[in-house]
Amino acid sequence: MLKTIEVNDFVDSNTILSDLWEKAWQIASDWSISNPEYTLRDSTSYPLIAPANIKYKINKTIFDNKVMPQLWNVNVTNAILDCGNGQELVVWGYDTVWACMYKEKWNYPLKLILTTTNNETAEQTTMDIDAGELEVKSQVEIRTNQWPVEFSNNEIIAWKNPIKITYDASSVFTDFQLPDYKVIWDADWDGVADKSDLSTYTHLYTWASKYYTKVKYPWLNDHIYIIPIRVEQSDVPVAQINYDAITETRYKITANFFGDKPDISEYIFNILDKKSHKKIDSVTSDKPNINYTFQWNWMYAVQMSFVTQEWKQWLAESENIQIGDSDFMILYDTYIKTPTDPQFKKLELNDADSENGWVEEIALKEIPTIIKFDITKIIPSSPSVETQILVDGSPIVSTDNLFQTTIDSNKSYDIKIIVTDPNHKTTTEKEIKISVDRDDIIWKLIVSPDTVWVSPFAVKFDASTTTINDPKDEIVYFTWDFGDGEIKENLSQSIISHTYTYDFETENGQFYPNVIIKTKMWRELVVWSWTMILVKKPNVTLDISLDSHPAQTSNIWDKVDMSLDIDWLPDKVIWDFGNWNTLECGGRECIQASQIYNVDGEYTIAAKVTYPNKPTIEWKINLIVK
């Protein structure tokens, strides 16, 4: 006997759908693409890179010959494709309305959802068919200098013109382990390559339009990848900032307007440090141009703001202006661990101005502290790039771009990250200042096993790793305030346990514990756990069993035995047998009960259980008497 026949047992799921780009290989080396909105589906030769649109249709031959014969005596009235990314396409009629937009690297499960109508009963049913999996193996990150991009209607919305859009393809080279940073960019869709061999490329879009940015990775394959970008039209005058070198450091900066030039009485030119993202100078002019001398070799941009007579304000920004030798952009993460916190934790660094450029500052509260630098990216990247880190002039050893050193003295440290490309004779330094400013009391309060549980909740507090920086001082007392009204004063215990219960009277299960640490030299510190203790209402369950008639059917004059399955000791149990008879008792006295029904019919048996410190709970069950 065949119990089940599944459609998926007969159909190769990867053949149910077919994408519409069947001749992608023929145009792989041609920048002039007639239908650039849809790219090919994943394959061995052409792996898929997000963001990308994929347009699907049902494979008519497979569907008619292998799927339809398995759908017995029904008509298919609708078919929807679940793209696996939150989008759904109506694909019935062997046609497609929209394509699926895949935003990021992922394996996307595809599913075909069919609506069928039974030819005899006219009953409608819905069934799912596995349609395979789409693997997106890498992605290009897209960002702007003003607003986050939006994905809408199978295109990427990048705000209003003019706008700088940055394409970061660094992940592509990492994901596919490409030996060299070879890439070609055509960002304005004019068929001419704009940049090459830059993994991260920023393009200034001045005109409002829809663009099809084309990218090619020669070390990967000969295919051209398409990114649909829409730049919306601005409702204010749009200007482009151009610059021309007068000398090596002096430039003429000019604002050129698209269309009619608005009536503007004042222009403000802001000079930006592109590495620190801060304004370093500002020049006001009554003309749309200035001459400006840059002070040192660096990466700059010029931002011009203006207000028209109609009080419309806008900003325009130039391309990056490189003065002197090209520098590297050094991206890194910093981690520290201490005796009181022995696991590495990532630091958020504070920035500070310095006469020598841009300096990071780290203030440590405890020594010894182990500090680790993880160099995540060097831009631009090259096989000949060398990286080293010096601590007060002495190099530290690295492993796979991880540099680790120990700060163990109460003094200031000077750390430099130095990136050098000997082939191009280029060097960039990043300076980091470390200061040690130890607290009198270095504390840590550990809460275990968790901070959220069901009442009653036993919690252990551990302040044993708290230390004193003064060798002449010592901890004398711990005063524990558990936040629920109970306080234990002046204990010598650095580790203590406490049981929390949910407060039904106030409906409260949130508690904020702390400990006050007192030392021999009258130092005092209040330490909070920085996380509240959440005590959930206790789980209480109730079930009614008809022990003598588990099928919930009896004859008249049968004795029906029943019982309750409950948690905890109840305060009161109230039975309602559905035949006008009730029973009430305390504790567990009537957990079991019985009843005789002398009239046929359907009865609803109900039980209510109350607790002194838990919520009341009720349950019902039906009994048919014949």
| Whether the predicted model's global pTM rises above the 0.85 cut | no
- Check residue 357 and give its pLDDT: 44
Q: Is the pLDDT of residue 554 over 90?
A: yes
Q: Looking at 185-194, 325-334, 403-412, which range is the least confident one?
A: 325-334
Mean pLDDT score, 75-83: 86
Higher pLDDT, residue 260 or 8: 260
- Check residue 593 and give its pLDDT: 92
Cβ neighbours for 436, distance < 8 A, ≥ 6 positions apart: 363, 364, 367, 407, 409, 410, 411, 412
Q: Classify the C-alpha dihedral 482-485-488-490 as positive or negative.
A: positive
- Check residue 10 and give its pLDDT: 41
**Which tokens is 177 given?**
């382990």
Q: Looking at 12-16, 109-113, 180-184, 461-465, which range is the least confident one?
A: 12-16
User: What would be the CATH architecture of the domain defined by 140-232?
Assistant: Sandwich (2.60)
Q: Is the pLDDT of residue 160 over 90?
A: no
Q: Is the pLDDT of residue 140 over 90?
A: yes
Q: Which helix (H) or strand (E) holds 171?
A: helix 170-175
pLDDT tens profile 498-515: 998 888 777 788 898 988
- Check residue 45 and give its pLDDT: 62
Mean pLDDT score, 58-84: 79
- Check residue 529 and give its pLDDT: 66
- Check residue 33 and give its pLDDT: 46
**CATH node for 239-323:** 2.60.40.10
Q: Is the pLDDT of residue 350 over 60?
A: no
Q: Looking at 79-88, 260-269, 473-482, which range is the least confident one?
A: 260-269
- Check residue 131 and give its pLDDT: 80
- Check residue 252 and give its pLDDT: 93
Mean pLDDT score, 177-183: 86
Q: Please, what CATH class does the domain formed by 542-625 belong to? A: mainly beta
CB–CB of 348/422 below 8 Å? no
- Residues above pLDDT 90, as percent of the chain: 15
Describe the strand order of the beta sheet including 533-536 as a list of residue ranges: 452-454, 533-536, 510-511
Most confident of 6-10, 168-172, 186-190, 204-208: 168-172
- Check residue 105 and give its pLDDT: 92
pLDDT tens profile 566-621: 877 888 999 999 988 999 998 888 889 999 999 999 999 999 988 877 777 888 89
Q: Is the pLDDT of residue 365 over 90?
A: no
Q: Is the pLDDT of residue 255 over 70?
A: yes
Q: Looking at 337-341, 405-409, 484-488, which range is the least confident one?
A: 337-341
Higher pLDDT, residue 43 or 224: 224
Cβ neighbours for 384, distance < 8 A, ≥ 6 positions apart: 421, 422, 423, 424
Residues 435 and 623: their CA atoms lie apart, in Å, by 78
- Check residue 473 and give its pLDDT: 82
Mean pLDDT score, 201-221: 87
In this chain, the answer to whether the domains covering 329-436 and 542-625 adopt an identical fold is: yes
CB–CB of 323/298 below 8 Å? yes
Q: Any idea where the domains of the chain sit in the sequence?
A: 7-138, 140-232, 239-323, 329-436, 441-536, 542-625
- Check residue 233 and give its pLDDT: 79
- Check residue 479 and give its pLDDT: 92
Q: Looking at 79-83, 462-466, 491-495, 612-616, which range is the least confident one?
A: 612-616
- Check residue 35 and give its pLDDT: 46
Give the N- to C-terminal CA distance of the chain in Å, as an integer: 36
Q: Is the pLDDT of residue 356 over 60?
A: no
- Check residue 363 and give its pLDDT: 82
- Check residue 100 and give its pLDDT: 84
Q: Classify the C-alpha dihedral 454-455-456-459 as positive or negative.
A: positive
- Write phi, then psi, for 13 (nearest 5 degrees): -60, -30
Mean pLDDT score, 3-30: 41
* Max Cα–Cα distance, the chain, nearest Å: 111
What length is written for the chain? 626
Higher pLDDT, residue 503 or 166: 166
Mean pLDDT score, 523-551: 81
Residue 478: band (very low, low, confident or very high) from pLDDT cuts 50, 70, 90:
very high
Q: What is the mean pLDDT of the chain?
A: 80
Strands (E), 61-105: 74-82, 88-90, 100-102
Mean pLDDT score, 265-274: 85
Q: Is the pLDDT of residue 9 over 90?
A: no
For 544, the 3-state DSSP assignment is strand
User: What would be the CATH architecture of the domain defined by 441-536?
Assistant: Sandwich (2.60)
Strands 617-625 and 553-554 turn out to be parallel
Mean pLDDT score, 201-222: 86
Q: Is the pLDDT of residue 263 over 80?
A: no
Q: Is the pLDDT of residue 547 over 70?
A: yes
Say whether domain 329-436 belongs to CATH 2.60.40.
yes
Instruction: List b or e across 419-453, with b for residues whose CB sees 16 or more CB atoms inside 10 angstroms.
Output: bbbeeeebebebbbebebeeeebbbebeeeeebee
Mean pLDDT score, 417-429: 78
Q: Looking at 33-47, 434-448, 531-545, 608-622, which range is the least confident one?
A: 33-47
Alpha carbon dihedral 279, 283, 287, 290, in 10-degree steps, equals -90
- Residues above pLDDT 70, as percent of the chain: 84
Cβ neighbours for 470, distance < 8 A, ≥ 6 positions apart: 440, 521
- Check residue 605 and give its pLDDT: 92
- Check residue 93 and give its pLDDT: 66
Mean pLDDT score, 161-176: 87
